[in-house]
């Protein structure tokens, strides 16, 4: 099980339904991510209520709010890694770019929680996993660049940050009910590849 470090305290993260719950229900950690994105100050009691379990049950696995934050962070990176796996084959015409966009949008709340929680910048094991996941995303973007879909010569960090911005906006729009989940990957990818400007008049 992963370790997290807060200040001078090391804690081993517990495992409470870390994956998808029975019958396809969201896991406790996924529910926690959604609750904490909506309200970063949410208490353990509020997370437990949203997950449909007792606070005591949650407390047995995550003694403090910090323990829960750490566990949700690791869960988010687990899903991030799975999303990159879903991007799969370099043989795809777009290098796996659309598959990656769709997979990342689907885990929008978890990624939003990860990207919007500053404390994670100071937890080494999370930071190491984060950097590795980013590098794998860059590999997909570079493949798309090799396929001629992205302009040559752009810095890797710019490709990555621009891609994340579009993914974040699409995922947030899905959560807000403004964008249909099935439409989101294509709209995000079209915006990323072509922007929002009108096509030049002939």
**Band of residue 12 on the pLDDT scale cut at 50, 70, 90:** very low
Asked whether 79 and 110 are in contact (CB, 8 A), the reply is yes
Reference 181, options 191, 190, 195, 171; nearest CA is 171
**Band of residue 197 on the pLDDT scale cut at 50, 70, 90:** confident
How far, in Å, CA of 67 to CA of 192, rounded? 36
**Band of residue 10 on the pLDDT scale cut at 50, 70, 90:** very low
The mean per-residue pLDDT over the stretch 69-80 comes to 89
Asked whether 108 and 168 are in contact (CB, 8 A), the reply is yes
Quick one: tokens of 53?
């379990």
**Band of residue 182 on the pLDDT scale cut at 50, 70, 90:** very high
Q: What is the mean pLDDT of the chain?
A: 83
The secondary structure of residue 98, as a DSSP letter, is H
The mean per-residue pLDDT over the stretch 152-172 comes to 93
The mean per-residue pLDDT over the stretch 81-92 comes to 79
The mean per-residue pLDDT over the stretch 159-170 comes to 94
The pLDDT of residue 25: 60
Asked if pLDDT for residue 21 goes beyond 70, the answer is no
In DSSP terms, which residues pair with 4 in a beta bridge? 11
How far, in Å, CA of 82 to CA of 113, rounded? 17
Asked if pLDDT for residue 173 goes beyond 50, the answer is yes
For the ranges 17-21, 32-36, 71-75, 105-109, which has the lowest average pLDDT?
Answer: 17-21
The mean per-residue pLDDT over the stretch 156-185 comes to 94
The pLDDT of residue 89: 62
pLDDT digits (tens, 9 = 90+) for 97-142: 999 999 999 998 888 888 888 878 788 888 899 999 999 999 999 9
The mean per-residue pLDDT over the stretch 43-59 comes to 88
């Amino acid at each position: 099980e992963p370790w997290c470090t807060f200040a001078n305290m090391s804690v081993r993260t517990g495992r409470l339904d870390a994956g998808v719950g029975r019958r396809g229900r969201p896991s406790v950690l996924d529910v926690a991510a959604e609750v904490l994105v909506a309200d970063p100050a949410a208490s353990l009691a509020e997370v437990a209520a949203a997950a449909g379990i007792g606070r005591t049950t949650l407390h047995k696995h995550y003694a403090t709010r910090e323990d829960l934050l750490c566990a949700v962070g690791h869960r988010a990176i687990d899903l991030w890694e799975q999303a990159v796996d879903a991007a799969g084959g370099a043989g795809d015409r777009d290098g796996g770019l659309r598959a990656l966009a769709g997979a990342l949008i689907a885990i929008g709340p978890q990624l939003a929680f990860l990207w919007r929680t500053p404390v994670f910048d100071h937890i080494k094991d999370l930071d190491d996993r984060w950097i590795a996941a980013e590098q794998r995303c860059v590999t997909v973007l570079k493949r798309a660049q090799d396929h001629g879909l992205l302009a040559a010569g752009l810095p890797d960090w710019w490709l990555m940050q621009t891609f994340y911005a579009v993914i974040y906006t699409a995922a947030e729009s899905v959560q807000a009910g403004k964008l249909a989940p099935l439409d989101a990957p294509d709209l995000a990818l079209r915006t990323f590849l072509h922007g929002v400007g009108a096509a030049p008049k002939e």
